[in-house]
């Protein structure tokens, strides 16, 4: 705010000193004008600060909003991880189909054959089923082994379950866990031609896709803490979570996605099931 001549004139009149408009104010007016200017300048530049009570109220509101929103954000992240996992399994369904077309109708054996192990039709890559699918699911590897598969970034790797990866400190820790899995396992109780693919050396041999019994009701691959899902005992093998198997299950991972898990069926469709829903579909059905 400026102190103009009109303001000075009014001050002069109020002080009984005549009209100063059009000329310089009398000398004894200068201290008054200077004081007014200082007061007006100070008043116009002063900003009102928050009180302590207002600040505490703002902090309380922010805390309440965070308490409401954080659980919702966790649910959203979990749903996103489960959705990405379902997408991975669908990509693997295409990989299995393409693999069968390229290999005379055979699907990979669950496990690699150790030296001296009798196997009439072992995996050509000399490793587990995941390595057989690498050309169809994953960016090229630095070397042909499960550790190299597990270090490929998740954005270029359909064989890493995002929820499984988050159970480790980072991807390097997941790679070094010592297990032949990046979060998925093959159902070794799958009925192929009237037999499972586990006993009698069958776990080391590839099998014909066309021989899978009831493919629409048979789980081929799903969330797992190891390269296999083995429920032949008729129950889930729950354990205390460990650094190696953080899911808390020895084989399979029935609770990974908010109390459920994702499964790829032999006919190519994917379902999200509770442990009780999945268990009958993972046992050997003659």
pLDDT digits (tens, 9 = 90+) for 6-38: 454 554 554 455 544 444 555 555 555 565 555
**Within 10 A of 168 (CB to CB), how many other CB atoms are there?**
15
Sign for the CA dihedral angle at 271, 272, 277, 282 comes to: positive
What's the pLDDT score for residue 60? Answer: 85
Helices and strands in the chain, H and E counts: 8, 7
CB 224 within 8 A of CB 181: yes
Predicted local confidence at residue 75, as pLDDT? 67
Supply φ then ψ for residue 83, to 5 degrees: -65, -40
Check if the beta carbon of residue 131 is closer than 8 Å to that of residue 125: yes
pLDDT at 22: 47
Task: Tell me the CA end-to-end span of the chain in Å, nearest whole number.
Answer: 95
pLDDT for position 145: 85
Q: Which helix (H) or strand (E) holds 186?
A: strand 184-187
Spatial distance between the Cα atoms of 121 and 114, rounded to a whole number of angstroms? 13
pLDDT of res. 69: 65
Give the CA diameter of the chain: 122
pTM: 0.75
Residue 2: predicted pLDDT: 47
d(CA 5, CA 9): 6
Domain boundaries, the chain: 5-45, 84-282
Q: In sequence order, which residues have a C-beta less than 8 Å from that of residue 198 and are 6 or more positions away?
A: 110, 188, 189, 230, 232
Return the pLDDT at 21.
45
Burial of 214-247, coded b for 16+ CB within 10 Å and e otherwise, reads ebeebbbbbbbbbbbbbbeeeebeeeeeeeebbb
- pLDDT value of residue 47: 59
Residue whose pair of structure tokens reads 């270029």 in the numeric block: 156
CB 249 within 8 A of CB 242: no
pLDDT at residue 64 in the model: 78
Our CA dihedral for 235, 239, 242, 245, rounded to 10 degrees, sits at: -10
| Under-50 pLDDT residues of the chain | 1-3, 6, 8, 11, 14-15, 19-23, 42
Phi/psi of residue 92, nearest 5 degrees: -70, -35
Report pLDDT for 132. Answer: 95
So what's the pLDDT on residue 243? 83
């Amino acid at each position: 705010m400026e102190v103009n001549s009109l303001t000075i004139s009014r001050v002069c009149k109020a002080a009984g000193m005549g009209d100063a408009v059009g000329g310089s104010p009398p000398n004894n007016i200068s201290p008054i004008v200077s004081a007014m200017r200082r007061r007006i300048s100070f008043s116009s530049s002063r900003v009102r600060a928050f009180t302590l009570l207002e600040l505490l109220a703002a902090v309380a509101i922010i805390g309440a909003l965070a308490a409401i929103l954080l659980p919702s954000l966790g649910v959203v992240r979990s749903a996103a991880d489960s959705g990405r996992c379902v997408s991975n399994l669908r990509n693997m369904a295409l990989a299995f189909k393409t693999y069968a077309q390229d290999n005379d109708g055979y699907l990979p054996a669950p496990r690699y054959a150790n030296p001296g192990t009798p196997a009439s039709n072992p995996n050509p890559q000399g490793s587990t089923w995941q390595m057989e699918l690498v050309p169809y699911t994953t960016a090229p590897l630095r070397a042909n082994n499960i550790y190299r598969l597990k270090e490929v970034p998740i954005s270029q790797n359909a064989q890493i379950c995002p929820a499984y990866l988050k159970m480790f400190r980072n991807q390097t820790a997941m790679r070094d866990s010592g297990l032949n899995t990046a979060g998925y396992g093959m159902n070794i109780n799958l009925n192929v031609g009237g037999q499972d693919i586990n006993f009698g050396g069958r776990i080391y041999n590839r099998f014909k896709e066309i021989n899978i019994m009831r493919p629409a009701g048979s789980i081929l691959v799903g969330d797992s803490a190891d390269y296999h899902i083995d429920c032949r005992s008729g129950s889930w093998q729950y354990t205390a979570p460990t650094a190696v198997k953080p899911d808390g299950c020895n084989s399979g991972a029935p609770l990974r996605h908010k109390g459920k898990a994702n499964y790829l069926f032999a006919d190519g469709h994917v379902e999200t099931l509770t442990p009780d829903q999945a268990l009958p579909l993972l046992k050997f059905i003659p």
